[in-house]
Amino acid sequence: MTPDEAISRAIALPCFRAPSGARLVGGGKTNLNIRVEDGGCAFVVRLGADIPEHHILRWSELAITRAAAAAGIGPAVLHAEPGVLVLDWIEAEPFDEAAVRAPENLLALAALLRRCHTEVAHHLRGPVLSFNVFHILRDYAATLTERGSPHAALLPGLLDQAEGLERRVGPQPLVLGHNDLLPSNILRDRVGRLWLIDWEYAGFTTPIFDLGGLASNAGMDRAGEAALLSAYHGAPPDAALLARYDAMKCASLLRETLWSMISELTSTLDFDYAAYTAQNLAAYRAAHSCLAS
């Protein structure tokens, strides 16, 4: 779909009476986002179909997006239909890596994650997906092998490492997680309130996946990671928690690497997935090399 086609589809939606100012906005690697004004309010139209190879099913995204809105940490849903999700536009600035790493923001970020993990599930209706990163890694590897990925030769070694990471993580509590904590998916509005957006990967998972994903996506150093874990748990992390966290952080980086390998084969969006694969594979290898034996 071209940008003009996306805008035309957005302004033709039945939820709008007199749409104006429609323009494409950035931020999506699996969808197109269009900002539309109507009736003195602004909205964002997310256009994106199911992507089964990435475990994205839009009915689950819709259910969790509505629950996040009811919990007060996500934008409200105005309209939904197959391939379309219309949300309130939040006048806010997205975080960047430096903002996530800033010590003055860690308490607020930890509180936002706790609300995600403890409150959103209470507002859910109907079935939603789970997000088991180790299952996803195995499924990604099978898909890459079946489709003749140029990275196929790397997969047996990476899967062996993933099994070791799964053993290190061990049994974990189950929470409703966001599972895609890129800095740009965290917004701060004009009064300082934090929001989470883009719930397409959300599902039941372990808390340390979100913690590890947030830290690795922002390039946190060890002191920052310890501060984040302390803020989230209300106490400094012990050696056992740090070991599980380090393993899950590696799994998060490996999942992002294989996600990009899949996208190299399947995505039609204008994005340099090959470079993104190389970037994440290097980050994963660096993190994995630091694991205590």
- CATH number of the domain encompassing residue 125: 3.90.1200.10
Domain housing 56: 3-91
| Distances, alpha carbon 174 to alpha carbons 87, 188, 222, in Å | 28, 27, 25
Domain identity same for 134 and 204: yes
Last residue of a domain, one of 70, 91, 112: 91
pLDDT digits (tens, 9 = 90+) for 131-174: 999 999 999 999 999 999 999 999 999 999 999 999 999 999 99
SS3 content of the chain, % helix, strand, coil (to 5): 55, 15, 30
Q: What letter represents residue 221's amino acid? A: D
- CATH number of the domain encompassing residue 12: 3.30.200.20
pTM of the prediction?
A: 0.93
- Return the pLDDT at 292: 67
> What total of structural domains would you count in the chain?
2
Domain identity same for 132 and 40: no
Domain identity same for 99 and 81: no
Last residue of a domain, one of 65, 91, 117: 91
pLDDT band at 269 (very low <50, low <70, confident <90, very high): confident
Domain identity same for 108 and 72: no
| Distance separating alpha carbons of residues 285 and 230, to the nearest angstrom | 26
Helices (H), the chain: 3-11, 58-70, 97-101, 106-119, 133-146, 155-169, 207-217, 222-233, 239-266, 273-289
| Cβ-Cβ contacts under 8 Å for 41 (sequence gap 6 or more) | 88, 89
pLDDT digits (tens, 9 = 90+) for 75-134: 999 999 999 999 999 999 999 999 999 999 999 999 999 999 999 999 999 999 999 999
Q: Which of 188, 171, 111, 155 is closest to 254 using CA atoms?
A: 155
| Distance separating alpha carbons of residues 7 and 66, to the nearest angstrom | 24
Give the DSSP letter of residue 235: S
pLDDT digits (tens, 9 = 90+) for 251-268: 999 999 999 999 999 987
Last residue of a domain, one of 36, 67, 91: 91
Domain identity same for 185 and 279: yes
